[in-house]
Amino acid sequence: MSSERKAVTRAIAAQALLNACKKLNPAVMIKNPVMFIVEVGTAIALLLVCWPDLFTAAHASRGYNFAVFIILLLTVLFANFAEALAEGRGKAQADTLRKTKSDTTARLVRKDGSVCFVASTELRKGDNVRVEAGELIPADGEMIEGVASIDESAITGESAPVIKEAGGDGSSVTGGTRVVSDFIVFQVTADPGESFLDRMIALVEGAKRQKTPNELALTTLLAGLSLIFLIVIITLVPVASYLHVALDVSTLIALLVCLIPTTIGGLLSAIGIAGMDRVTRFNVLAMSGKAVEAAGDIDTLILDKTGTITYGNRMAAEFIPLRGGSVGEMAQAAFQASVKDETPEGRSIVELAGRLGVSGEEGEYAAAEAVAFTAETRMSGLNLPDGTTIRKGAVDAIKKFVAALGGQAPGDVDEAAARIAKAGGTPLAVAVGARVVGVIYLKDTVKPGLKGRFAELRAMGIKTVMCTGDNPLTAATIALEAGVDDFIAEAKPEDKIAAIRKEQREGKLVAMTGDGTNDAPALAQADVGLAMNSGTMAAKEAANMIDLDSDPTKLLSVVSIGKQLLMTRGALTTFSIANDIAKYFAIIPAMFIAALPQLESLNVMHLASPHSAILSALIFNAIIIPLLIPVAMKGVKYRALTADRLLARNVLIFGIGGVMVPFVGIKAIDLALQGLGLV
């Protein structure tokens, strides 16, 4: 499932061509009203090839009818090919997943503690299963015992194994992944056929894909337009009779097919399937096309601070010496206090001290006694062999420590701590013996590039809200640095739901990320809930999207993909409808110019003959569908613009382009037909 895999292979294209022929079944075609009308026209044209005088109206030559039949057949096949090609990528992905899903033998742990071997297909919800190192996990579940390294590359495409531990938020396991080290015992949470992998296969195959509300509305609109044009074509017959113009049935069919929105009708389904596929290729599993579409209409993003906006680990940013001290002395003391501290904070202090010129190895302090951090003391450090004590920790804890040794903290320690807290950081005081030498500034670092991405969202009219358990002062500082529009400080799970509901009451669509069981209610409440694959099963079941890479910032990219889907659909709809103008100028004069010479002014393309005009327009109408398949599959290039500017851009490019391109294309086809002597 690597996002770099080849989009369309020769095998996928060949299978799509075969499936395009299978989709000619009228029972399948009737689901797409526009292309069903084209198929009915194709069938009538075939009848006219066999019996040119089948209808009492004027009839064209068998060769002309055959040409119309072939072009209409290709039009339907091209539309079916576009849909089949989009489906083919999903089916290829599903085949890869099926290789992961295999019947394996599972160690079922009975209630009495004994273990027996059963087929994975016999496992049911509530069963406890033990998996040893090197074995495949036979079903979805929640770990209840053990800590293990698990290879999830079959699902996520990432080669690095992840650590899973019972009792934490990251305790869910997925069937088809492999235990690399140690062992786990997990409780099965899905019956056969209902697992995460089963649902994933069905979704990427499109077997359960339903049209989104937007897609249904557009399909209804296209069907309505087609019906209107059908009525127009029918009324042309008596008008032509009144003008003593003989219109053959093939020409009427060609006119109908050219005027109805066949381009978007042929590509609409492919656009929807490809949109879901783009999300899946991005290692996000969308539970429905509606979720992808909703992501494109999002008004508000609610994001956790820790792990999403910031790295989550506080890192040493600055050493602040107190009166009478130096940065060098302060850095040396901070290094010694942290040299045996394996926490991310401790490692960052050692790294910062090294950058300031402090040298030393942990081995030099082998004889020193390490003092670990505890909730009671709220500090850690070293006791050197010569009796010197070095500590770092909370400011008030260090002040009490030096006071117990007969010392007194200088007044500027509180000033330094207040300045750090106001900046949104965490102060750690450092003491050597009974003297406080300085304060370490620990900072929760904002991820690079986020400010620019939030600015892009703001340009699209999307509001960003940061949720954090930090105090308001710290939250305000991080929010300012990250560039979010608003923040909720000291947030509890119920505060997230309240924030979502408040936005929804104002008529806005809301998206959020989460991974814990306590996030499940908010994920379910949000219009787009993105759960982390490393999170709990409750969170994944509540969300309508799952990020297989467990990257909380990916929600920002999901919004971009959703908007790209809507942009692509809107752009190609604009292009398809604009196409009709050129076809009108090509066909209408050709049909009536003999009876109404005044229509010569509309014959701006000066096509060779009436039949050439009709065939040229019909050929262009057919070949524009495969030419636009890459656009439908890849999507219109996404730009961070407001809805008004996007509309103006689409009208300019695809509206005006949709008018101009057919004039050039139809004239070129007409010249080619003349050159080949076919008209």
| Residue 374 among known ligand-binding residues | yes
- Among candidate residues 127, 304, 470, 551, the one labeled active-site is 304
CA separation (Å) from 16 to 7, 19, 79? 13, 5, 11
Structure tokens at 610: 């009436």
Burial class (CB in 10 A: 0-12, 13-18, 19+), 590: buried
| Residue 375 among known ligand-binding residues | yes
Helix 62-100 vs helix 33-50: angle between axes, to the nearest 10 degrees? Answer: 140
Which of helix, strand or coil describes residue 358? coil
| Residue 600 among known ligand-binding residues | no
Is residue 410 within 8 Å of residue 418, measured between CB atoms? no
Q: Give the residues across from 532 on adjacent strands.
A: 547
What span, in angstroms and rounded, lies between the C-alpha atoms of 611 and 593?
Answer: 12
| Residue 140 among known ligand-binding residues | no
Tell me the backbone φ, ψ of residue 564, rounded to 5 degrees.
-65, -40
| Residue 377 among known ligand-binding residues | yes
| Residue 412 among known ligand-binding residues | no
| Residue 145 among known ligand-binding residues | no
| Residue 380 among known ligand-binding residues | yes
Structure tokens at 460: 């699209």
For the range 39-44, what are the long-range contacts, defined as Cβ-Cβ under 8 Å and sequence gap of 24 or more? 39/76, 41/72, 41/253, 41/256, 41/257, 42/69, 42/72, 42/73, 42/75, 42/76, 44/249, 44/253
Residue 514 one-letter amino acid: G
Q: Give the residues across from 393 on adjacent strands.
A: 379, 429
Sign of CA dihedral 185, 186, 191, 193: negative
Is residue 223 within 8 Å of residue 180, measured between CB atoms? no
Is residue 304 annotated as a catalytic residue, yes or no?
yes
Among 244, 158, 107, residue whose Cα is nearest residue 550: 158
Among 233, 293, 169, 221, residue whose Cα is nearest residue 584: 233
Residue 565 one-letter amino acid: L
Is residue 481 within 8 Å of residue 497, measured between CB atoms? no
What span, in angstroms and rounded, lies between the C-alpha atoms of 297 and 90?
Answer: 24
Burial class (CB in 10 A: 0-12, 13-18, 19+), 75: buried
| Residue 392 among known ligand-binding residues | yes
Residues making up the annotated binding site are 341, 345, 373-380, 392, 515, 519
Residues making up the annotated binding site for ATP are 341, 345, 373-380, 392
Q: Hey, which residues are catalytic here?
A: 304
Residues making up the annotated binding site for Mg(2+) are 515, 519
